[in-house]
């Protein structure tokens, strides 16, 4: 399979999981799927394949002592760029899963954080952290009050 095909398949592969978390968060199938690690197995396996097939003695040495110019040069290669992109897809989806599961557990609003996470993972995580803090500060629930009583 060509690297472009792997890249395109990986991009489409993650979309159903994001759609479920954003548009159908309360659906039992969404809950079961997102409680599982199964969505990450194909992504991690693809990453492993690309990582192993794109590593060279030169890149291994450069990654052991990373310099920005070396990393930029390696990412000019399509296979290395696809490997990095699948790394982002996997970790962004894992972060989105965390946000989703925390929102289900605590009742904190997550749709905006999930959308941000889909496009820029760390910003979605930051959004969720801020939303969680603000929710607890301005809209304390019985859960939050009980939690603060037990930790005091």
Residue 142 is predicted with a pLDDT of 59
| Angular region, 107: left φ>0, alpha ψ -120 to 50, beta rest | left
Say if residues 75 and 81 touch (Cβ distance below 8 Å). Answer: yes
Q: How much is the average pLDDT of 24-43?
A: 96
Residue 144 is predicted with a pLDDT of 47
Q: 96-152, pLDDT tens digit by residue?
A: 999 999 999 999 999 999 999 999 999 999 999 999 999 999 988 755 444 434 433
Instruction: State pTM to two decimals.
Output: 0.87
For residue 144 the two structure tokens come to 């939050």
Q: How much is the average pLDDT of 59-79?
A: 86
Q: How much is the average pLDDT of 38-62?
A: 90
Residue 47 is predicted with a pLDDT of 97
């Amino acid at each position: 399979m060509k690297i472009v095909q792997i890249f395109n398949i990986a991009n489409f592969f993650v979309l159903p999981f994001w759609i479920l978390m954003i548009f159908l968060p309360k659906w039992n199938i969404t809950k079961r799927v997102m409680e599982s690690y199964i969505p990450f197995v194909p992504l991690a396996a693809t990453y492993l394949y690309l990582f192993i097939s794109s590593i060279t003695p030169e890149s291994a040495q450069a990654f052991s002592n990373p310099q920005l110019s070396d990393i930029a040069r390696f990412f000019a290669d399509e296979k290395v760029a696809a490997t990095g992109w699948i790394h982002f897809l996997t970790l962004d989806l894992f972060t989105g899963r965390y946000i989703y599961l925390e929102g289900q557990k605590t009742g904190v609003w997550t749709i905006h954080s999930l959308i941000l996470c889909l496009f820029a993972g760390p910003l979605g995580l930051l959004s969720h952290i801020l939303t969680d803090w603000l929710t607890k500060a301005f809209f304390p629930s019985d859960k939050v009050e009980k939690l603060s009583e037990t930790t005091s």
